Amino acid sequence: MKELTIILFERQGLLLVIAFVMTRTPGFRTLLYREYSVRMSIVHSFIFGLFGIASTITGITIDGDTIIRSFVWQAEDDQLIVSSSLIAIVIAGLLGGPSVGFGAGIIAGAHVMLLGGIGWLANGIVNPLTGLLAGLTAQFFSNERVISPMKALFIGVFPPVLHMQLLLIIHSQSGETVTIVDRIGLPLVLSNSIAIAVFTAMIGIVLREQENEAALAAKQALAIAEEALPFLRNDYPQQMAIGIAQLLYERLKLAAVSVTIGTEVLAHVGIADDHHRSGDQISTAISREAMETKEMKIAYTPSEIQCRIQDCPLEAAIIIPIVAADEPTWLIQFYFRKSQHIRPVEIMLAKGLGQLISKQMDTIAAEKLKSHIRDAELRNLQAQINPHFLFNTLHLISSLIREDPERAKYITVQLANYMRFNLRLVSKSLVKLEKECEHVKAYIDIVQARFACQMEIVFLRPTILPEVFIPPSTIQPLVENAVRHGLKNVTHNGRINVCIQVESATILIYVQDNGMGFSEEMLKAIQHQTSAKQNETYEKTGLRNVNQRLVHLLGESAKLHFRNLTNGGSEVLFRIPKITTGELINNATV
């Protein structure tokens, strides 16, 4: 018994090595993740059936008290075949379910029956029966991706016991059956159950490896997608394509990367750039198919790549369509020197990158659309001219024509400057601070002429201002708010200070008045916007629009700050950065 147990463990060690190699095949993944189909069930039944046949051939035969160690090709009528085929059948059932287990059992069982010997019928029946029962057991543990080794050890005890029972029932007329069963029973139970437990442990290791690879691929895809964002936001397709291709080539260590937009290759980075060049048109059927189907395609042969150069070193590729707004807009192609370099982790990474970049493109498109809508709304608000202000100013000019023609002429010029500035707002998001100051000066001169006896407006600014940018018509509404609301009840000695101060990193701008100040409700509405009525008051002052434009175009640090002064009156201040980005400068007017 001891010798038989050792021999069985030796033979099963060889089978486990073969099984380990099987776990490394790409098709084995469909079993691990239970991606069943009729075709794959047939394929796996055939594979595990062959594995069962190999287990039988590498088994042993028992002739009386003699153990024949040679490969089993045929058995005499007085010989019994002792094999490990049940291990393969149990694994087939546990992984593939009843259909795969039963199919593999029929193949392995038919082979054992053809070999003959004592117990040929029992050997033939036990294989499909074991596969069916193992498959049903797997369904019972369907919530587990792979049965644990301890459970597999327990399950592995029953197939050899069932085998022994069938031998005793079907071949009871043979007097040697009881002796043989007594001799081989315990070694078969031990070897089979331990081998099945070891195999399930191997599968668990493979699963963890795949999960680690998938996690690594996902992490890498997320990191690359994050780094790709600045390039994806680029409005110039050529620069975007070159940036994306260079990033992917450096991060993924590929043979080459190309980016195609529409039907034209805009960038190719890596080997074979002497004939894979930007400006080439898509000519391969697999690339056009990827665009049409919106699905990732893999070219495993040079004939699928269809390169015009016969000795091109690029022999395989992954073609990833980038879909924005449900339409394929461009392709990313990963090139490899050999098809063997395309591992499952590369495929997972490519698929994940394609999905992430597609979602980013959708998000960027939505952000741009939202930005354009918001910009249009803000510019529309900026371009609005208060008709009462215009009529009152025209009335002032008409009254000054007789009394002070020079003054009337000056106010007319300032009104023209003021209106011209407002009409140009619809095409500009930012203006130079110097231009904004000219606009404020025009408004102050007009208001000062109208309310000369009621208030004084002092505009303090440096002689030379840094070349910084500000949303147009930002300071003027603050001055207007002080005139219309701050000094609303002031009939004389009203004062408004408009001050611009240059600090180390920012420009401080504030407007102060000595009027009635902000009410508590107003300050609360500005800070918390707690009620519709308070919010309506906030909007009526025009400050909400100014604050929105500052935050939207210059950031949260540029938002308005409000407070009441201790000596009476109020103050509104904000800061703008001295150093602006290239994007802000490009949007500004000169």
Task: Answer yes or no: is 309 within a domain.
Answer: yes
CA–CA separation, 32 vs 508, rounded Å?
A: 65
Residue 303 lies in a domain: yes
Whether residues 399 and 517 fall in one domain: yes
C-alpha torsion sign, points 290, 291, 295, 296: positive
- pLDDT for 501: 93
Q: How confident is the model at residue 43 (pLDDT cuts 50, 70, 90)?
A: confident
pLDDT value at position 571? 93
Are 450 and 525 contained in the same domain? yes
Indicate if 401 and 458 belong to the same structural domain: yes
- The pLDDT score that the predictor gives to residue 394 is 81
Residue range(s) defining the domain that contains residue 352:
233-372
Q: Strands, DSSP E only, in 97-169?
A: none
Given a cut of 70, whether residue 486 has pLDDT beyond it is: yes
Q: Is the pLDDT of residue 173 over 90?
A: no
Last residue of a domain, one of 212, 243, 258: 212
Question: Do 192 and 253 belong together in one domain?
Answer: no
Closest CA to 298 of 252, 255, 234, 348: 348
If 0-12 CB within 10 Å is exposed, 13-18 middle and 19+ buried, where does residue 172 land? exposed
Q: How many domains does the chain have?
A: 3
Instruction: Please identify, among 179, 212, 245, the residue that sits at the C-terminal boundary of a domain.
Output: 212
Q: Percent of the chain scored above 70 by pLDDT? A: 84
Helix (H) or strand (E) holding 479: helix 475-481
378 pLDDT exceeds 60?
A: no
Segment among 201-205, 232-236, 357-361, 387-391 with least mean pLDDT:
387-391
Lowest mean pLDDT, pick from 175-189, 432-446, 538-552: 538-552
Q: Is the pLDDT of residue 430 over 60?
A: yes
Which pLDDT does position 212 carry in this prediction?
74
Average pLDDT over residues 174-185: 74
pLDDT at 140 over 60: yes
Please choose, from the candidates 430, 374, 462, 459, the residue with its C-alpha nearest in 3D space to the C-alpha of residue 576: 430
**pLDDT surpassing 90 at residue 202:** no
Q: CB neighbours of 335 closer than 8 A, spacing ≥ 6?
A: 254, 255, 256, 257, 258, 270, 271, 272, 314, 316, 317
Same domain, 389 and 356: no
* 338 and 393 together in one domain: no
| Spatial CB neighbours of 224, under 8 Å, sequence gap ≥ 6 | 247, 248, 251, 252, 353
| Confidence band, pLDDT 50/70/90 cuts, at residue 228 | confident
User: What's the pTM?
Assistant: 0.46
Q: Provide mean pLDDT across the span 483-507.
A: 89
533, pLDDT greater than 80: no
- pLDDT, residue 379, reads 58
In a domain, 222, yes or no: no
Q: Is the pLDDT of residue 79 over 60?
A: yes
Q: Verify that 200 and 240 share a domain, yes or no.
A: no
Q: What is the CATH number of the domain that holds 394?
A: 3.30.565.10
* Mean confidence (pLDDT) of the chain: 80
**Torsion from C-alpha of 295, 300, 305, 310, nearest 10 degrees:** 180
Per-residue pLDDT, averaged over 393-413, amounts to 83
Q: Is residue 223 part of a domain?
A: no
| Arithmetic mean of pLDDT, 79-90 | 82
Query: What per-residue confidence (pLDDT) applies to 425?
Result: 59
What is the rounded radius of gyration, in angstroms, for the C-alpha atoms of the chain? 41
Is residue 217 situated within a structural domain? no
* CATH code, domain with 36: 1.10.1760
* 149 and 202 co-located in one domain: yes
Average pLDDT rounded to a whole number, residues 5-30: 68
64: which residues sit within 8 A by CB, 6+ positions away?
78
Tell me, yes or no, whether 342 and 402 share the same domain.
Answer: no
Report which of residues 434 and 37 the model is more confident about. 434
pLDDT in tens, 431-468: 889 989 988 998 898 888 888 888 899 999 998 888 88
pLDDT at residue 507, as a whole number: 93
CB atoms within 10 A of CB 280: 16
Degrees, nearest 5: CA angle 57-60-66: 150
What's the pLDDT at 274? Answer: 84
Q: Confirm whether 408 is domain-assigned.
A: yes
The answer to whether 248 touches 257, Cβ cutoff 8 Å, is yes
What does the pLDDT average to over 166-175? 74
pLDDT score of 89 more than 70: yes
In a domain, 253, yes or no: yes
Which stretch, 370-374, 454-458, 585-589, has highest mean pLDDT?
454-458
Per-residue pLDDT at 36: 57
According to DSSP, residue 486 is labeled I
Torsion-angle region of 493 (φ positive above 0: left; ψ -120 to 50: alpha; else: beta): left
Say whether both 201 and 244 belong to one domain: no
Q: What pLDDT is attached to residue 509?
A: 95
Same domain, 501 and 354: no
Check pLDDT > 50 for residue 64: yes
pLDDT at 329 over 70: yes
**Strand residue runs (E) in 249-408:** 256-261, 264-270, 297-299, 316-324, 327-336
Q: How confident is the model at residue 519 (pLDDT cuts 50, 70, 90)?
A: confident
Take residue 67 and report the two structure tokens written for it: 């153990």
Q: Give yes or no for residue 73 having a pLDDT over 50.
A: yes
Q: Is the predicted pLDDT of residue 511 greater than 90, yes or no?
A: yes
Q: Which of 183, 212, 241 is the last residue of a domain?
A: 212
**Residues 76 and 163 both lie in one domain:** yes
In a domain, 469, yes or no: yes
